[in-house]
A and B are shown apart, each in its own frame.
Chain A
């Protein structure tokens, strides 16, 4: 998964380099989270288990049968 380009101005003072650094960090972490989510969705078993857990289809105190 490719993210949008991050441009760093050539006249940006060195003390302000942390700005684009944080932008890159956030972009990489967000992309990675999106990619992880996408592959979970593509796996039918993972996707089913995740949906069950998020919708609390099986409650902790729920009993089946008798």
Chain B
């Protein structure tokens, strides 16, 4: 029952919550023109942001089709299902489980003209420290890495793996 709630009820609720939060915030984007220019040139990108700043990232995406690297952990399944509501595909794996298969899939998508989304510090951290995987990915695909971040004036931080920031409505 708990699993059913987590996997079937929580993802659509979470997706709606993210959209609702987005509507309650005065959002502004800085530096997006660089990404738009790359898209105009027909290029694809690797988007990188810290794991603790991922919550509102689906709303920031400016491209057509992106694949997100998400761990094979149970929480990862919830995140993957939430991302589906925003039109993202997920590639499951991490350095500890399913890494090789995930890397192959990421390379395939990256070389075939899709955007890739990664958190370079991963769910287990250390927080805000880049692991080499994303750099290897950029080298092997030839895609540029575009750093992305998010901040909000009113927020609550809590611990999910590593520190996670949750914006308070009307923030």
A and B, one complex? yes
In the complex, what distance in Å separates the CA atom of A40 from the CA atom of B153? 6
Cβ-based interface call for B151 (8 A): yes
Contact B153 A28 (CB under 8 A): no
The 3 closest A-B pairs by CB, nearest first: A3-B147, A5-B144, A2-B31
Interface residues on B, range: 35 or more
What chain A residues lie within 8 Å of B147 (beta carbons)?
A: 2-4, 6, 24, 27-28, 31
What chain B residues lie within 8 Å of A62 (beta carbons)?
A: none
- The contact sample of 30 A-B pairs, CB cut-off 8 A, is A1-B30, A1-B31, A1-B149, A2-B147, A5-B45, A6-B144, A7-B144, A7-B145, A8-B135, A8-B138, A8-B145, A9-B139, A10-B142, A17-B132, A21-B134, A21-B135, A22-B130, A24-B48, A24-B134, A25-B130, A27-B147, A28-B49, A28-B50, A28-B130, A32-B53, A32-B149, A35-B30, A35-B149, A38-B151, A39-B151
**Quick one: CB contact mask for B42-60 with A, threshold 8 Å, 1 for yes?**
0001001110010000000
**Residue in B48, B147, B149 with the greatest tally of chain A CB atoms within 10 Å:** B147
Contact B138 A7 (CB under 8 A): yes
Closest to B120 in A: A24
CB under 8 Å from chain A, chain B span 21-44:
26, 29-32, 34-35, 38
Cβ-based interface call for B156 (8 A): no
**Residue in A5, A10, A14, A29 with the greatest tally of chain B CB atoms within 10 Å:** A5
Closest to A12 in B: B139
Cβ-based interface call for B152 (8 A): yes
What chain A residues lie within 8 Å of B158 (beta carbons)?
A: none
**A6 → B minimal CB distance (Å):** 4
Cβ-based interface call for B9 (8 A): no
In the complex, what distance in Å separates the CA atom of A38 from the CA atom of B50? 18
